[in-house]
Each structure stands twice: as C-alpha cells, then as structure tokens.
Structure 1
Amino acid sequence: MASQEIEALAGALARLPGLGPRSARRAVLWLVKRRETALVDLLNSLDTVRETLVECTVCGNVDTRNPCGICADPRRDASSICVVEDVADLWALDRARLFPGRYHVLGGRLSALDGVRPEDLSIGALLDRVDGEGVDGVRVDEVVLAMNATLEGQTTAHYIAERLEGRPVRVTQLAHGLPVGGELDYLDEGTLAQALRARKPL
C-alpha cells in the first residue's frame, strides 16, 4: 500500500481527462522514480503556469499573457473570426495551422438540458467584436462557426447565425465532413483541413 500522500497524488491525476486510476498510479510511480529530475521540472512548470495563467479578455483563450499570443500576433487576419465552443477546440484548430484569422471562445454551447442559456456564453462579446471598429481599424467581415457536430453545437451555431443577421458580415460554418457527434479536439489534422477548406455560408 502506498502512503496517503501518494494515493492522493494518484487520485488527483486520475481526475485528468484520459487518465484512469491505473494510468495515474503508473504516472505517479514514474515520477517518484525520477523525482530529482522529472518531478522537479513538473512541479516548477505547474507552479509557473498557476502564477501566470490568464484568460484572454479579447477571445477567451487561455495563455500566460493578455491579450493572448494569437490576438497579439499582427500577422493574423483580423477581419476573420473563428468561433469555437471551448479552448480545446481553439487549440485543435490552431495546431493544424490552417486558419489565418483570430478566434472567439464561447465557453460552452447552448443546452436546455444542462440549463446553458445564451447569456451564459460569450455571445454578446462576439457581437461586440463584430460591431466594433476592429483591430487596427480592420473590421470583421467573416465569422466562421466551428461548433462541434452535435445537436447542441449546431443549435448554438444557428442561434449565433440568427443574431448576426442584418450585420455586414459573412457567416460560414465548417463543412459536415466532420463526423456527427465528433469533437474537434479528437480529430486528425487532415479531417480539420478538409472541414475548413469546405466551409460554406450558413
């Protein structure tokens, strides 16, 4: 039997996505065997992130600076915004390096069952970005709705499209080459590339 402290660490790791109790115990054992190197590096990294982690006030991304690296990058196309449900989706799309514009994180999706209403998401902030003067005087002319291909995701996309009606902005969405019920964070780059290339007006 391991000590209570080691079991507590294994329990904390087991709560992470993709790690069950057995995988967490293996990770703890690996860290304990390398406590002078790997464990120290991990603790230092966690401490640094804990102290510096902030949410971008422009797009909702998580970074160690505000605005985040994507919003602060002058090479990004400020006239195009890709709307995603959460930060994991933003990271998945940006990892593929296929979208040259900027992002907007909603912080979830509409769900009557879970009690998530439009005011619970950052839809108002998105509308403000579309209506505003834009970055460096560049107005937004395209909003790409990159919701997950679930019932709630598509409901959210249609709601946002309705809110954007009447504004001088082109609204597109990812093509339905995405598997129904699939989530962006689990898709390969080829699938993401095809979905982005085949986006169409909504």
Structure 2
Amino acid sequence: MVTTHDWSDDLDTHHLALVRENAAVYGAGGLRHMILEVLAYANDEAEARCSVGLAVVSMTDDGTVTIADDGRGTDTRLDQHGKAVRKPVMATRDIRFFDVADGPTLPDGLPRRGMSTVAALSSVLVHENRRSNGTWTQTYRYGIPDAALHALPRAPRTGTVVTFRPDARIGGPTRLMSGDARAFPWLRLEMRDRG
C-alpha cells in the first residue's frame, strides 16, 4: 500500500524536472526552507518512535548543509533477488505533501512538499541511511542518482544523514530562525558551523 511514496518506481524524472523548471516556486524560502523540509522528516521519524530525537545541522562556508539524525534510518528492504531497495524519498514525489490543497506548512509559512524538492534543487545531495540491518549511501545530482544504492560498513548507530548543496539559483534565507526549532517538538536541534 502506498502511504508516502510509490515504491514501484525509484525515479520520477518528470516530477524532478517540474521542480527544477519551477525553481522560483519550489525553491521559495531558500536554504532555510530546504533545511526545514529535511528536519520535518526527522521529526516524523522521532514522533513515530515516540521518543525525542536529535538532529544536528552543520553548515560550511560554501553553502553545503549536513543534517544528521538518530532515527531508524530510511526504510530499506531487500527485493526478491536480495538487492537492497530504499524508499525513494529523494527522487519521487511525496504523495502526502507535493502540491496538495491545504497541506501542512513549515515554520517559514511555506508548504511542505517533500524531500524530493530538496534533491531536485541541489547540485549534489548525498543520502546515507543507517539501519539496524545495514548502511547504504547514494549520491544525487538535481535529484538524479549517480549510481545504484551502495552498501557501506554497518554503522554503530541508526539514523539518516543528508548532505546537500543548493543550486546557485536558490536565493532567500540561508539560516534557520530562532523560532524554527519549536515547530519540531520531537527533535532536539544542534547547530554547528564547519567553516
């Protein structure tokens, strides 16, 4: 049953192109909004576990952002051939949020649209998920995967790490505002500048 993403297709090039072609709409709110989109998923994950989670937001001078949380990691399953398949959150639309009428808004007052908008508007995005049964990574350029999901040595803790660099066309706020953390009651946020 499809609840957030359609697992039958791990890449929706039409959706990603739509987001890129309308960067002024989907990139409104700038880097701040992109960070909020990622944090909303971490908050959902912590709420599902009924436990306040930790999300660490790190920024570098070149505009690269890394958001690491201590959740369960992005859902990853083995197909009938034993190949790892991850929920396609980066390259397909989130059916709960993308262009739905009266959908939820994020702390900046803009609609929540899903992680695929962050991927589609990033020159590079690396998604690492650390599950109890393994760790995998995948790199995307404007939402298109560079290669297949790649297994890594199992991490000591579960969680998700998303590192992205927004396209140069994305303007707007580049930092979270002081009240943004209150919108994520299931997260404890830590901010770090890495120079």
TM category, shorter: under 0.3
Q: Say which one has the larger Rg.
A: 1
Please give the TM-score of this superposition, normalised by the length of structure 1. Answer: 0.25
Please give the TM-score of this superposition, normalised by the length of structure 2. Answer: 0.26
Structure with the higher strand share, 1 or 2? 2
